[in-house]
Amino acid sequence: MSVYKRKYRDMKSGKVVESKNWYISYYFEGKKIAESVSPNKRVAEDALKSVAGDIAKGKYSLRRDTKSPKFEGYAEVYLEYSKANKRSYETDITMFKALSAFFKGYKLSKITPFLIEKYKIERGKKVARMSKKPIAKATINRELAILKAMFNMAIRDGEADTNPVKAVKFFKEDNKKERILTSEEIQRLLAECNGHLKPIVILALNTGMRLREVLYLKWSRIDFNRNIIIVTQTKSNKNRNIPMNGFVIKTIDNIKRNSEYLFCDTKTGKPFDSIKTSFGKALKRSGLVDVRFHDLRHTAATMMVMSGVDLVTVKEILGHSSIEMTMRYAHPTTEGKMNAVKALERQMEDIDSRNIVATAKVVSMPKAVSNSSNEA
Residues with a known catalytic role: 210, 235, 294, 297, 320, 329
Taking each helix axis from N to C end, the angle separating 294-306 and 197-207, rounded to the nearest 10 degrees, works out to: 40
Q: Evaluate whether 109 touches 64 at the Cβ level (below 8 Å).
A: yes
Q: Which residues contact 258 (CB under 8 A, 6 or more apart)?
A: 264, 266, 269
How many residues would you count in the chain? Answer: 376
DSSP string, 73-141: HHHHHHHHHHHHH-TTHHHHHHHHHHHHHHHTT-BGGG--HHHHHHHHHHHHT-B-TTT-SBPPHHHHH
Q: Evaluate whether 106 touches 39 at the Cβ level (below 8 Å).
A: no
Instruction: Give the whole-angstrom CA distance, residue 123 versus residue 134.
Output: 9
The alpha helices in 310-361, defined as continuous H runs, are 311-318, 323-327, 334-349
Burial of 357 per CB tally in 10 Å (0-12, 13-18, 19+): exposed
Burial of 249 per CB tally in 10 Å (0-12, 13-18, 19+): middle
Q: Evaluate whether 356 touches 273 at the Cβ level (below 8 Å).
A: no
E-assigned strands of the chain? 2-4, 7-9, 16-18, 22-28, 31-38, 222-223, 228-231, 240-243
The one-letter code for the residue type at 222 is I
Instruction: Give the whole-angstrom CA distance, residue 258 versus residue 250.
Output: 18
